[in-house]
A and B are shown apart, each in its own frame.
Chain A
């Protein structure tokens, strides 16, 4: 009796410790995000005075007005949407159909193709040779390269293949084949509709990496009208390194009354930019979350 009580006491201590531990972790994880959001709707002067800590101070939307009033921001935002949506659709189509072929047990050349794909995970051409080849084949400074670069990830391909192998019953395949279905019939009518979960996971993986990519735009684009959002943000950041006062955003706030006013607004606009740039991926994640956990677990366990 006595021994049992002692043990449950030690377990209770553990749970108290664990609760405190998670409160601290949650604070570290969420507070920076929370701070950005509340600062983005606060008065710029209050931010500079350091008053915005727990809640918005002197609610105002001047920052968002400035950000959305900046032409290049809007066009790059639109570009990012174009690249992300078309890129994700193409990536999912290519990945899923390749994953289907690789998941067929009797497909000839499976081992060779597997090797060809996996090898690229460990050895790549590197930045400069890739750049030169892309330039030679005419993909430099095109929208196409923004859509196709990073189009198929080996990891995602393997996750999708495992998913098809393990979660679609082999009976279905055999029954369809007996009914005289072709691979196309079976793939489009049965596999694709049963792959909702993995399609959601792929959409999140590909969507996030495409939306967040600034480097491809930096390396492969010359025309400013083609730049995606993250590359434009990076430029804003690069100028931020030079003048720490924040007047890098003068152009953003150029409809403001004076230089002082512009600099004042820049103090809040930088928070707004973060919210605006990160919003879409967080929303995407929120929508897909239901499928997400299940799919990721399957992929990671078997992949």
Chain B
């Protein structure tokens, strides 16, 4: 962190030299043009990538308002207006999908949001850089495990016949439970495994901003006889609020687009009543039974809500804490 701090002012000083430079460069206008085409060449691959993989699909969204037929293609299919949207809003499963998605995400956000904060604050108090390093290195590791493997571990650990979790229950005289086929357990498993996987990783941002807190504040607090608890309460926490707010805004923008990949691999016949969320439904019905237009409409609906959510949370946050993304 210190290196950055030192470099920022340096850059500012250097910027003063820029006008001098401009004069020199203006001497050969053709030379500037020559230099600039190379800049465009360097950014061209990225532009092509975003065009093909992001903006062409955006253009493909129009099939949400059409009846897509493979023969006619995206452009040639007939317009049907909002038919697919009204079908979805009137479907008997609409309420279930929406509430499953919302509940899963709201619970996940509420439970998982504070954990990295707490971890970062307590990690910051560890004395001895070796210990700190070891802990930091270890808590990042679960983040590198794939969704499939994570789900596999849950199937293995929670297995009613050979899972360690049920061995422990039996040792305590309790009956083994098949957690993965239990609709009531789905959300808890999803949330706990999610926290296990990403809480450590989530500390990176907070540790970085704690390292950026002015050390003089701590020294002053020490002279005034502040305890560690007081330093956490009055220096660390206020220092973390802006970053935490930013993370919260970003998380809110995802309230309807939960980790579809994970829910999909965790879905079993037993837990379908809670694990059926919008993203999984779109995959199953869209690609499984080929209802492209209908599921595109559902996808667009989710996208729009997320977009509105992130804009409004951003606005609210700006009003209350003066922190915003844009």
B286 at the interface (CB under 8 A from A): yes
Q: Which residues of B contact A230 (CB under 8 A)?
A: 146-149
Q: Which residues of A contact B142 (CB under 8 A)?
A: 29, 33
CA distance A176 to B183 in the complex (A): 64
Interface string of A25-66 (1 = CB under 8 A from B): 110111011011000000000011010010000000000000
Nearest chain A CB to B209 CB, angstrom units: 7
Interface string of B49-65 (1 = CB under 8 A from A): 11011111111110110
A293, B136: Cβ atoms closer than 8 Å: yes
Q: Beyond A219-B283, A234-B148, list 11 extra A-B contacts (CB 8 Å).
A: A14-B228, A22-B122, A97-B45, A100-B42, A101-B40, A104-B39, A122-B306, A124-B303, A129-B58, A233-B146, A245-B161
Interface string of A125-139 (1 = CB under 8 A from B): 111111111001100
B81 at the interface (CB under 8 A from A): no
CA distance A116 to B58 in the complex (A): 12
Q: Which residues of A contact B55 (CB under 8 A)?
A: 120
B147, A126: Cβ atoms closer than 8 Å: no
A291 at the interface (CB under 8 A from B): no
CA distance A105 to B54 in the complex (A): 26
B261 at the interface (CB under 8 A from A): yes
CA distance A170 to B205 in the complex (A): 27
B148, A170: Cβ atoms closer than 8 Å: no
* Contact with B286, one of A25, A36, A128, A183 (Cβ below 8 angstroms): A128
Q: Which residues of B contact A98 (CB under 8 A)?
A: 42-43, 45-47
B10 at the interface (CB under 8 A from A): yes
B60, A133: Cβ atoms closer than 8 Å: yes
B296, A267: Cβ atoms closer than 8 Å: no
B144 at the interface (CB under 8 A from A): yes
B94 at the interface (CB under 8 A from A): no
B227 at the interface (CB under 8 A from A): yes
* Contact with A233, one of B35, B43, B148 (Cβ below 8 angstroms): B148
A166, B4: Cβ atoms closer than 8 Å: yes
User: Of residues 170 to 198 in A, which have CB atoms within 8 Å of B's CB atoms?
Assistant: 170-171, 174, 177-178, 182-184, 187
* Contact with A281, one of B119, B137, B144, B264 (Cβ below 8 angstroms): B144
Interface residue count on the A side (C-beta < 8 Å): 106
| In the complex, the 8 A-B pairs of residues with the closest C-beta atoms, listed nearest first | A125-B57, A126-B299, A129-B60, A212-B146, A98-B46, A50-B167, A183-B38, A101-B43
Interface string of A254-294 (1 = CB under 8 A from B): 00000000000001001101100110011001000100010
CA distance A245 to B204 in the complex (A): 40
Known: A124-B58, A244-B160. A101 touches B42 (CB 8 A): yes
Q: Which residues of B contact A267 (CB under 8 A)?
A: 162
* Contact with A282, one of B144, B156, B265 (Cβ below 8 angstroms): B144
Stretch at the interface among B14-22, B85-93, B95-103, B105-113: B14-22
B164, A130: Cβ atoms closer than 8 Å: no
A214, B147: Cβ atoms closer than 8 Å: yes
B80 at the interface (CB under 8 A from A): no
Q: Which residues of A contact B151 (CB under 8 A)?
A: 237
CA distance A84 to B146 in the complex (A): 14
A117 at the interface (CB under 8 A from B): yes
CA distance A85 to B136 in the complex (A): 27
Interface residue count on the B side (C-beta < 8 Å): 111
Closest partner residue, chain A, to B261 (CB atom): A215
26 contacts between A and B (CB under 8 A): A7-B227, A10-B229, A18-B125, A18-B126, A22-B123, A26-B135, A28-B196, A36-B156, A47-B162, A101-B42, A120-B55, A123-B58, A129-B59, A129-B61, A129-B63, A137-B56, A166-B11, A171-B14, A177-B25, A182-B34, A182-B38, A183-B35, A183-B39, A233-B149, A241-B269, A244-B178
A111 at the interface (CB under 8 A from B): no
Question: What is the number of contacts between chain A and chain B, taking CB atoms within 8 Å?
Answer: 291
Q: Which residues of B contact A79 (CB under 8 A)?
A: none
CA distance A100 to B76 in the complex (A): 41
A148 at the interface (CB under 8 A from B): yes
Interface string of B235-251 (1 = CB under 8 A from A): 00000000000000000
Which secondary structure dominates chain B's binding surface?
Answer: helix
B52, A120: Cβ atoms closer than 8 Å: no
B1 at the interface (CB under 8 A from A): yes
CA distance A171 to B14 in the complex (A): 7
Q: Which residues of B contact A124 (CB under 8 A)?
A: 54, 57-58, 303
User: Of residues 126 to 158 in B, which have CB atoms within 8 Å of A's CB atoms?
Assistant: 126-127, 135-142, 144-149, 151-153, 155-157
B36 at the interface (CB under 8 A from A): yes
A199 at the interface (CB under 8 A from B): no
B60, A130: Cβ atoms closer than 8 Å: yes
A149 at the interface (CB under 8 A from B): yes
CA distance A107 to B261 in the complex (A): 39
Q: Which residues of B contact A133 (CB under 8 A)?
A: 56-57, 59-60, 74
CA distance A187 to B41 in the complex (A): 12
Nearest chain B CB to A128 CB, angstrom units: 4
CA distance A15 to B232 in the complex (A): 13
* Contact with A128, one of B126, B296, B310 (Cβ below 8 angstroms): B296
Interface string of A222-252 (1 = CB under 8 A from B): 0000000010011001101100111000000
B24 at the interface (CB under 8 A from A): yes
A237, B148: Cβ atoms closer than 8 Å: yes
B160, A128: Cβ atoms closer than 8 Å: no
A97, B43: Cβ atoms closer than 8 Å: yes
A123, B205: Cβ atoms closer than 8 Å: no
CA distance A178 to B31 in the complex (A): 12
User: Of residues 152 to 183 in A, which have CB atoms within 8 Å of B's CB atoms?
Assistant: 152, 157, 165-167, 169-171, 174, 177-178, 182-183
